[in-house]
Structure 1
Amino acid sequence: MNVSTSVERIDLNLFRVFDAIYRAGSLTRAAGQLHLTQPAISNALARLRERFGDPLFVRSGRRISPTPRAREIAPEVEAALSSLRRALAGGSGFDAAVSQRRFVIGMRDVLEFVLLPGLGGGLLQEAPGLRLQSARIERRSLEQDLAAGVLDLAIDVPNPVSAAVQHTPLFEETLCVAMRADHALAGRRLSLKSWLAVPQVVVSSRRNGPVLEELELQRLGLKREVRVRCQHYYAACHLVAASELMLVLPRYYGEWFARYLPLRLATLPVPLPGMSVLMYWHQHAEHDAGHRWLRERIRALFARGALRPA
């Protein structure tokens, strides 16, 4: 069955129903959120199913689960509804004290750990009705996600984007070496030779391929022994604190974990330049009052040293 794409021939309220069901995982809860009867929700879902030629939601125990087609269209529906809400609110500006807007910020987990507590705590004091979501960044679709409103902002290292995506630098990310506090090399100046002689743990979300410092070692014709490859710095820091392994990681993350684990940090003996971390947003959000408010708060947070342990 072909899906008609004519906006004039579809009740746009159906998408509010779709969004509510998708979020709630229940027709009953969706009806309550929209102040509609359950038969009205069921009728709207039947019309959506006919329109898309897909069940959209199937029963899974006491909940209903989205089909692959529903998961595919959900971000676009949410982005469209968010755009409509912003358009309606545009003339009245943004009042943080009463706003109930939802902002989705794309960031890596290593940044989320140190940034979100300070960011969320400050924002939610100023805007108690605000909703924040931290989301994983998919770099291949970053521009598309910003354009569609799947992400309101992204905080990441340099990415290739078009002129439609605005960006501003927030800080420089430098790397350091972490080792156990009573490691034989702790407290000394770490030489390249001694560092290469120690077994290492590396962190990467990819199953294979070189990490950043590996590329420089390859260029220099050097090699180190990697004993463990894991997905997250959190696990790697705990492993290093309990072993002879060493780890290369962002200095701000190492400083945070050195407060809670028996770790000692040292300067990385391979000369790597710092890497800029930027904030990205799409140009269609440039003059949105709420979006501008959020960007200003994030800039201020970094200016106050958001990544430094208190």
Structure 2
Amino acid sequence: MRNLNIGSIDLNLFVVFEAIYRESSITRAANLLSLSQPAVSHALARLRERLGDPLFIRRGRDMVPTPRARELITPVREALHGLQGCLAGVGGFEPGQARRTFVLALRSGLEACVLPALMRTLVAQAPGVDVQSLTIGRRELASTLAAGRLDLAIDVHLPVDADINQTHLMDVPLVVMMRDSHPLAARPLTLERYLAARHVLVSSRRRGPGLEDFGLAQAGYHRQIALRCQHHQSAMATVASTDLLLTLPSMLAEQLPPPNVVVKELPVRLPPLSLYLYWHRDQEDDPALRWLRQQVLAG
């Protein structure tokens, strides 16, 4: 390993290094930094020469970090964040002057619940800040946060390692949606009637029970699934025109309902949907991300 003096390396090269690591792409890193693609490629070539390591290997469309790059990314980010904090001064982040893109991982159903309030705040207080919402597989959540390609994630309670910080965001009760001409719409929704009906289950997985099915099974109950689909909007559109029932979080029922549906309480006591906010510990003291977390928690 080369013994290098930090004074012999242009520190801007590490800004480029972090952007390529974050985006897994020279083109996207160039867009993030408002540089030309040749300029980013040239900077990477200089850093490769100085460190004696390729740092990234092209694999398909992605630039995959080498072991040396993975070793470097955490101390590089800590150094860049520390320098950014010093330059920002007291408070560390000026929303009205900021120019930045925040990347959030949200399940599709959560976008309508989280983004409107967040964007109202950003438009009013931080007009130069953009937001990108992505769907990240739960198995990739920790690694994507660690790679810096993601700033925050909102999801159910997940087993994560010590590098991932989390805080409870909210508990959301489950409710039942049906069309307004459904035979049960004008009658009390009892547990017996609920279990006798046919249901829609929203899940990104091909098989396995939903959250509500776990709770029902623990209580000794089982329901009949007539449709398994991927998105709550399509599920709502389906129950609006059939006699199927949809069990869903109350905040989704409030945000996205078709015009001809009714919502009733779930006729059995089940645990609510618990949502958590996740971020990498390297981002704990980033002033901009600390501000963003405060806005999300304020909801």
TM more than 0.5:
yes
The corresponding residue for 1:169 is: 168
**AA aligned opposite 1:16:** V
- CA change 1:81–1:262 in 2 (3 A) is farther
Which deviates more from structure 2 when the two are superposed, residues 175-184 or residues 262-271?
262-271
Q: Distance in 1 between matches of 2:163 and 2:44?
A: 36
Q: How far apart, CA to CA, are the structure 2 residues paired with 1:158 and 1:223?
A: 24
Letter in 1 for 2:150: L
Q: Distance in 2 between matches of 1:257 and 1:228?
A: 19
1:263 is aligned to 2:227: no
In 2 relative to 1, CA 170–42 (structure 1 residues): closer, same or farther, beyond 3 Å? closer
1:67 aligned residue:
60
Say if 1:187 and 1:264, in contact at 8 Å, map to a contact too. Answer: no
CA 189–23 in structure 1, closer or farther in 2 if over 3 Å, else same: farther
Alignment of 1:121-132 (within 5 A): 121-132=120-131
| 1: CA distance, partners of 2:15 / 2:85 | 21
Deviation at 1:44, TM superposition (A): 6.2
3-state SS of paired residue (1:118): helix
**Pairwise CA RMSD of aligned residues?**
3.7
| Cα separation, 2, equivalents of 1:300 and 1:205 | 28
Quote the Cα distance in structure 2 between the aligned partners of 1:278 and 1:132: 19
Q: Counterpart of 2:231 in structure 1: which amino acid?
A: H
Instruction: Provide the C-alpha distance between the structure 1 equivalents of 2:73 and 2:107, rounded to a whole number of angstroms.
Output: 22
- Taking the aligned partners of 2:142 and 2:57, their CA distance within structure 1 comes to 30
TM-score normalized by the length of structure 1? 0.75
The answer to whether the Cα contact below 8 Å between 1:166 and 1:282 also exists between their aligned partners in 2 is: yes
1:275 aligns with 2:273: yes
TM superposition shift of 1:71: 5.8
Q: Which residue of 2 aligns with 1:16?
A: 16
Structure 1 residues 96, 295: CA separation in 2 closer, same or farther (over 3 Å shift)? same
1:137-216 matches, cutoff 5 A:
137-216=136-215
**More displaced 10-residue stretch of structure 1: 159-168 or 199-208:** 159-168
Shift of 1:231: 0.6
Question: How far is 1:180 from its partner?
Answer: 0.4
What is the rounded CA distance, in whole Å, between the counterparts of 1:188 and 1:106 in structure 2? 40
The 3 A distance-change label for structure 1 pair 157 and 235 is: same
TM (norm. structure 2) is: 0.77
Describe the superposition over 1:6-57 as per-residue Cα deviations: whole angstroms up to 9, x where unpaired.
695998739838849936479xx86x94268x5x667667787x9649983x
Inter-partner Cα distance in structure 2 for 1:193 and 1:244? 16
Give the secondary-structure state (helix, strand or coil) at the position aligned to 1:218. helix
Q: Percent identity?
A: 36
Change (3 A) 1:7 1:206: farther
What's the CA shift for 1:277?
1.4
Bigger mean CA deviation after superposition, 109-118 or 245-254: 109-118
Instruction: Report the AA paired with residue 246 of structure 1.
Output: L
1:55-105 deviation per Cα after TM superposition (whole angstroms, max 9, x unaligned): 83xxxxxxxxx72552678x9799998666533321122111111122222
Counterpart CA distance in 1 for 2:129 and 2:275 is: 25
Unaligned runs of 5+ in 1: 57-65, 302-310
